Chain A
Amino acid sequence: MARDADAAKAGATSRRLRTEVDRLLQRGLKGLEYLGSPAPVVGTTPKTLLLRRGTLGLYHYKPQQSEIYRVPLLLVMATTNKAYIFDLAPGQSLVEFLLQRGYDVYVMDWNAPAPSERGLRLEDYVLGFIPDCIARVQRHSGEAELTLAGYCFGGVLALLYTALHDGAGLRNLVCFTTPLDFSQMTLFRALSDARHFDVDKLCDRVDLVPAEMVIAGFDALRPAGRIAGQLRLWDNMWNDDYVKGYRMMERWGAETLPLASEYFRQIVKELMQGNALHQGTLRIGARLVELERVRLPLLHVIAQHDHIVPPPCARPLLQRVGSRDKQEVMLSGGHVSLVAGANAVKRMWPTLDQWLQARST
């Protein structure tokens, strides 16, 4: 009996040693391969460009089911990043998941604005780009109503559109980790504190707020994150799936977009410093944004460990809208892992599907 236990122990030791030596070798070999290999391919789900207008691109994804839900879904990406976070790779794509579940998916993506677009304002997004895309989706799908779903600041834009147009052309509104009470974004607020940060001086001087500055702003919230991420990458270098996922996320983060200077000025002064959306004083094109005019069925998905839009910043949304059919879902995860990655596959995607399917017929 004791001899069997000793043999099992020796077997386990030998297996452990073999695994560690193997991983050590693989870390070295794959580390070299990593340095020389190109960036991973992302956003491969077949799609068609329906509209391109400067910084805006509207895409339609090819349906993957012979029978789809009546109400199309239009995803609005945050203006700081590319929308391929919704479509990283087969098996890791929210878009692919939704197509397989029978939705007709459209996505509003953003390109880096040109210097000539320095004058873009919130009004251009809320009263121009979104209504234009809704009209295009209506014509393309032949349906009068659609579901508008915005991620992060894309959620703010979707919310502003809905409030200012009484939800015209919409059946449902979905917000993913959408900030409302900007006073609760303590670190971002500290970074944009008017006593230290002269946003006018910056925006008068540049056409576009450089992407590096936007990235530095995000990095300042978790300055140790980058180096810790690289150490974890080395530790997991033997694991191809981990490396692939890391590289896709790294690419997405590195492809952060610059922002039009007027748009940035408006966000900093009115939302960040003035907290005008939460205080009910925000005006878009001289019209007051009244959130109680949002009466559509609303789903708000919040991430429990979101360091960019912490839950106290996002939670007031549900109380402020006039919808009767409204639901807030708090899921475990962070700002990005809410929509992409293994967490999202298990948690957010099925939640979204469950909520949408009854409201998409």
Chain B
Amino acid sequence: MPKPPIPDPLQWLRKTLDRVEGRANALAGRGLQCEPVLATLHRLNAASMLWRQALQKALDRHCKRLNLPTARDVAAIQATLQRIEDRLDSLASPHDAPAAQGPRPARTRKPAAAAPGADGPDEAAAPGGNAPRRRAVRRGGGHGTRR
């Protein structure tokens, strides 16, 4: 195929963009290692956080004055609804019991390259030699207790 006489007009711009992006990121990276830049960045961040909180407080006051729920009230209602929904899910969900799941695929799949009868990891590739252990889980077993 002959080489097009008109080069891709955006090719140069694309390369320039890559270069400029790389340099800008490297420069910013060096800036983050520089104490005054870092200190300024954190001061700006702290100021933005204070501003956000002040705005939130003002909004909350305004909502109270209008007899409307605040963001915190809405979050509390959401959390309560979520707890109810979770509880309903756990009561209604039969998912945990394998018998309730209906027919499921057989867990007998072997790696494509595995020879018949060789059902474990390649010992050479797995120096740990973790032989495949086949045992069914005890009902109610496991370690699902929360600390």
A residues neighboring B (CB under 8 Å): 5, 8-9, 12-13, 15-17, 20, 48-54, 60, 63, 65-70, 102, 104, 114-116, 123-124, 127-128, 131-132, 134-136, 138-145, 165, 168-169, 171, 186-187, 190-191, 193, 196-197, 202, 205-206, 210, 213, 216, 220-225, 228, 231-232, 235, 285, 295-297, 323-326, 357-361
- Contact B147 A123, beta carbon cutoff 8 Å: yes
> By the criterion CB–CB under 8 Å, are A138 and B141 in contact?
yes
- A205 contacts B53, CB within 8 Å? yes
How many Å lie between the Cα of A130 and that of B30 in the bound state? 38
Beta-carbon contact of B89 and A52 below 8 Å: yes
| B107 & A68 in contact (Cβ 8 Å cutoff) | yes
A8 to B3, CA, bound (A): 9
- Taking a contact as CB atoms under 8 Å apart, the answer to whether A135 and B106 are in contact is no
Given contacts A67-B109, A134-B143, A138-B137, contact A325 B130 (CB under 8 A): yes
How far, in whole Å, are A48 and B95 apart by their CA atoms in the complex?
Answer: 9
Per-residue A-contact encoding for B112-124, CB less than 8 Å = 1, 0 else: 1010000111100
**Closest Cβ–Cβ distance, residue A64 to chain B (whole Å):** 9
Query: How many chain-B residues does the 8 Å CB contact rule pick out?
Result: 81
Q: How many A-B pairs fall under 8 Å by CB?
A: 216
Is the beta-carbon distance between A325 and B147 smaller than 8 angstroms?
A: no
Min C-beta distance of B94 to chain A, whole Å: 11
B10 touches A235 (CB 8 A): yes
Cα-based distance from A53 to B87 in the complex (angstroms):
9
Selected contact of B49 from candidates A20, A65, A116, A213, CB within 8 Å: A213
Q: How many angstroms from the CA of A323 to the CA of B39 in the assembled complex?
A: 43
**A-chain residues with CB within 8 Å of residue B86 when the two chains form the complex:** 52-53
B65 at the interface (CB under 8 A from A): no
Supplied contacts A132-B144, A135-B143, A142-B137, 19 more A-B pairs, CB within 8 Å: A12-B2, A12-B5, A13-B4, A53-B86, A54-B82, A68-B106, A68-B107, A104-B105, A131-B142, A140-B95, A143-B137, A144-B136, A144-B137, A225-B21, A296-B130, A324-B127, A325-B129, A361-B110, A361-B114
Residue with the highest number of chain B CB atoms closer than 10 Å, among A9, A138, A360: A138
- With contact pairs A216-B45, A295-B128, A297-B126 given, residues A65 and B105 touching in the complex (Cβ less than 8 Å): yes
List, in ascending order, chain B residues with CB within 8 A of A54's CB: 82
* Contact present for A50 and B95 (CB under 8 Å): yes
Question: Do B32 and A139 have beta carbons less than 8 Å apart?
Answer: no
